Amino acid sequence: MKAVENFSDRLDRAIIWQCEQLHEGLPLLAKSLGASHVSQQLPSVPAKANQQMIGHWLTHAATQLGVEIQHTRTTYQKLKQMLHHSTPLLVTLTGATPTFLLLLRCKRGVLYALGHDQNIHKLPLQKLIKLLSAPLEQPWLSMIDHMLAPLDVSESHRRQIKQEVLHRQLENVPIQGCYMLRLLPGDRLWPQLRQTHIPIQVALFGIATAIALILMLASWMVIGRDVFLQSGFHGHLDLWILLLLTSIPFQILAIHLKNNLSLDIGYLLRRRVLDGILQLEPDEIRHQGSGNFLVRVMNIEFLEGQGLSTVFSVFTALLQLFLACYILTLGVATETLPLLLIVFIAVFLFFGFLRYKHMKAWILHSRRMGFDLTENMVGHRTRLAQQHPEHLHDDEDQLLARYVKLSEQMDHNESLVRHICGRRGWLLLSLASLFLIFTTPHPDVVQLAISIGGILLAAMALEQIGQALYPVIAACIVWEQFRYIDRSSQHYLQSIAQSPPRFMQSAELERRSRAYPLMELHGVTYTCYERTLLNNCDLHIKAGQRLLLEGASGGGKSTLAALLAALKQPHQGQIHLLGMTVNQWGVQHWRKHVVVAPQFHENHVINETFAFNVLMGKNWPPTQEELQEAEQICRELCLGDLLDSMPAGMQQVVGESGWRLSHGERSRMFIARSLLQKPRLMILDESFAALDPETLARTLQCVLQRSNTLLVIAHP
């Protein structure tokens, strides 16, 4: 990009992007993030596109560019804060036709906007705030001017009155049309670190820590020089106090930077962990168990908190060791003591590696115990009812015995590292090496004092490393678990890079709906645990059909539903939706058109409001119209009595710790959740099994009236 130009009226037109220019500007905005561009050949925005079509295009473009575009909802009061902290940003300007601003960053009240002339332009923050607030303020300004016209009020007071009234009346009025760009959580870590300025903070932390240590050593030098040269404190006491006072701000700065770094790095790690878990295949989560992933997430919290803090402590201790080694070269035994320190550190690292192996076995076993505890808590009722009482705790006893044995090994290794290879061992060995120096007739007192100071500094650093050794080793072990989860995000990005989804306009979708069947399966085969559930399956579903699929348990009905909804991928064969595969659609867009209500044991009621549970497939928070539609559908599904009985109605919290729902009520809530998404194909997997005949008839009537194409799975 070219040099930055000052903002003026003649550049206003240069920073305003039209709809048909967005496919050229959005890749440049993503490039400023450092995204690994999957594809820069974006389709153009449809002519005369409305906000819904633009939002659909932006979602598709973000997928191809390997970034995340989040529709940022803000209010009149928080508009300035959002513009200041949410860049890079795509801002929609209202008018006869939508136009856009591409904002790169905000610094000191100035926004840096990307122009379609490939330049970066300065835009005053207040000017953009007035521009975005004008449609909301204009009706109120006219009313206020009309009210103040007959009054004798000074111009300054008029401005104050206007600001106060606008602030009171428009404080919580929403402002939409802003889209924030972020890197995908699973993208390369370095650009994300650079975006949050972590490398700069790390450098500042290292500089502040080094300066604080140097000032501390300088204060020692001042005191030592006056003591050993017997010159008193004449003229140097003020210098000593000045050095100590000067080191305090750097120490405070280092602590402040360490806390900020822990928060920023922890935020990035948390995003990557959550994204990695959500990108895992459902079968993999089921195979490993939910308790396994719960314990892993809890371990990540350790890495985010104590682990990161101790890493910075180790960094400080390493600086102290480096300075101690340098100080030892200035004292007596300039060749022996530095070499002895290096050898001692090597021995310390060797036993530290042994401790790492013991701790890894201990932590993995602790994770196994946490996993088993979680699974046993979920199935506690079943165990009490069906497991023999004498064998209820057999597995726990074996796990505890193994845990005790591993703990004894780890404690023995810890004593060895902390007491023999740590501070005490170093002091004993280094002071013994100075024994000959003490016995000489005329030792150099100054050099001897310098050597003792270096020995004590090294001992202090070794003690700090010894205390931080457990959290650091635990963080390394947790990092290995984190990398396993993080690979699922990398796999998702690679799949997009290999086959980026297409963008289709409404006209093309309508053409395809007339030219192709809604759903086609050609030679689909699916095998699970060496058991073939579907073998060379062919199926054609036309739009508007109502289909019933019956079969015995274990016959592959639910597997077929999962394949149709792209929850599973076939091992052989092809599945087409309107003539295109899931790779051409993209998984997210495919699942907008094909929605499945899984079986009861695979569906879930979130511990949230009833409205959230039925509208979780829509944008959140919902509009008033969406809430009214949701309530109407629920009443058509015979859930009216339930809504009337709940004190808060649609806003009543339901779930494990909220309002309890029966089996049939949950099933109908799952049906309402699917209907509200208005898919092209809706699949109900045994959703009517828990309903009585009268409720079944009314529920089925609602489903038939409101669904486009329906596939019902049931037992004969």
pLDDT digits (tens, 9 = 90+) for 99-127: 888 998 888 888 898 888 788 888 888 88
Whether residue 709 has pLDDT greater than 90 = yes
Into how many domains does the chain fold? 4
User: Among all chains, which residue has been given the structure tokens 């060995």?
Assistant: 429
Q: What are phi and psi of 513, to 5 degrees?
A: -65, -25
- Residue 408 within any structural domain of the chain: no
Of the given ranges (98-112, 475-489, 533-547, 571-585), which has the lowest mean pLDDT?
475-489
Considering only residues 398 and 645, tell me which one the structure prediction assigns the higher pLDDT: 645
Whether residue 2 has pLDDT greater than 60 = no
- Residue 400 within any structural domain of the chain: no
Considering only residues 456 and 489, tell me which one the structure prediction assigns the higher pLDDT: 456
Domain termination site, one of 183, 202, 228 = 183
Rounded CA-CA distance 611/648 in Å is: 11
Q: What is the CATH number of the domain that holds 565?
A: 3.40.50.300
Count the neighbouring beta carbons within 10 Å of the beta carbon of residue 247.
Answer: 18
User: Among all chains, which residue has been given the structure tokens 């780890």?
Assistant: 410
The proportion of the chain whose per-residue pLDDT surpasses 70, expressed as a percent, equals 86
Question: Packing angle between helix 290-302 and helix 336-378, nearest 10 degrees?
Answer: 150
In this structure, the answer to whether residues 645 and 693 fall within a common structural domain is yes
In this structure, the answer to whether residues 448 and 462 fall within a common structural domain is yes
Rounded CA-CA distance 42/17 in Å is: 16
Element containing residue 427 per DSSP (H, E): helix 423-433
Q: What 8-state DSSP symbol labels residue 291?
A: H
In this structure, the answer to whether residues 334 and 253 fall within a common structural domain is no
Whether residue 439 has pLDDT greater than 70 = no
- Residue 402 within any structural domain of the chain: no
Count the neighbouring beta carbons within 10 Å of the beta carbon of residue 529.
Answer: 6
In this structure, the answer to whether residues 255 and 285 fall within a common structural domain is no
Q: What is the CATH number of the domain that holds 176?
A: 3.90.70
Q: What digits encode the pLDDT tens for the residues 316-342?
A: 888 888 888 888 888 777 778 888 888
Q: Is the peptide bond before 27 cis (omega within 30 degrees of 0)?
A: no
Domain termination site, one of 207, 231, 263 = 263
Instruction: Tell the burial category of 366 from Cβ atoms under 10 Å away from its Cβ (0-12, 13-18, 19+).
Output: middle
Q: What digits encode the pLDDT tens for the residues 121-155?
A: 888 888 888 888 888 888 888 888 888 888 777 88
Q: Which domain holds residue 627?
A: 506-714
In this structure, the answer to whether residues 318 and 292 fall within a common structural domain is yes
Question: Packing angle between helix 125-148 and helix 155-170, nearest 10 degrees?
Answer: 110
Q: What digits encode the pLDDT tens for the residues 76-86?
A: 888 888 888 87
Q: And the tokens for 674?
A: 């699917």
Q: What 8-state DSSP symbol labels residue 3?
A: -
- Residue 80 within any structural domain of the chain: yes
Residue pair 198/261 in contact (Cβ under 8 Å)? The answer is yes
- Residue 603 within any structural domain of the chain: yes
Residue length of the chain: 716
Instruction: Tell the burial category of 644 from Cβ atoms under 10 Å away from its Cβ (0-12, 13-18, 19+).
Output: exposed
Return the bridge partners of 102, or none.
Answer: 90, 114
Residue pair 462/423 in contact (Cβ under 8 Å)? The answer is yes
End-to-end CA distance of the chain: 67
In this structure, the answer to whether residues 339 and 484 fall within a common structural domain is yes
Pair type for strands 519-528 and 531-541? antiparallel
Rounded CA-CA distance 582/590 in Å is: 6
Rounded CA-CA distance 680/43 in Å is: 24
In this structure, the answer to whether residues 580 and 609 fall within a common structural domain is yes
- Residue 406 within any structural domain of the chain: no
In this structure, the answer to whether residues 355 and 232 fall within a common structural domain is no
Rounded CA-CA distance 161/705 in Å is: 55
Q: Kindly report the pTM of this predicted structure.
A: 0.70
* Mean pLDDT (whole number) for 650-674: 86
Rounded CA-CA distance 452/458 in Å is: 10
Whether residue 710 has pLDDT greater than 90 = yes
In this structure, the answer to whether residues 95 and 172 fall within a common structural domain is yes
Whether residue 422 has pLDDT greater than 80 = no
Integer angstrom CA distances of residue 497 from 36, 407, 507, 577: 10, 46, 27, 21
Domain termination site, one of 501, 518, 544 = 501
In this structure, the answer to whether residues 305 and 370 fall within a common structural domain is yes
User: Among all chains, which residue has been given the structure tokens 């923050």?
Assistant: 125
pLDDT of residue 214: 87
Considering only residues 598 and 297, tell me which one the structure prediction assigns the higher pLDDT: 598
Rounded CA-CA distance 680/519 in Å is: 10
Integer angstrom CA distances of residue 140 from 130, 171, 612, 687: 14, 13, 35, 52
In this structure, the answer to whether residues 306 and 427 fall within a common structural domain is yes
Rounded CA-CA distance 136/134 in Å is: 5
Q: Is the peptide bond before 88 cis (omega within 30 degrees of 0)?
A: yes
- Residue 680 within any structural domain of the chain: yes
In this structure, the answer to whether residues 85 and 204 fall within a common structural domain is no
Residue pair 81/72 in contact (Cβ under 8 Å)? The answer is no
Q: What are phi and psi of 458, to 5 degrees?
A: -65, -40
- Residue 390 within any structural domain of the chain: no
In angstroms, how far is CA 638 from the centroid of its own chain?
A: 39
pLDDT of residue 7: 39
* Mean pLDDT (whole number) for 527-555: 87
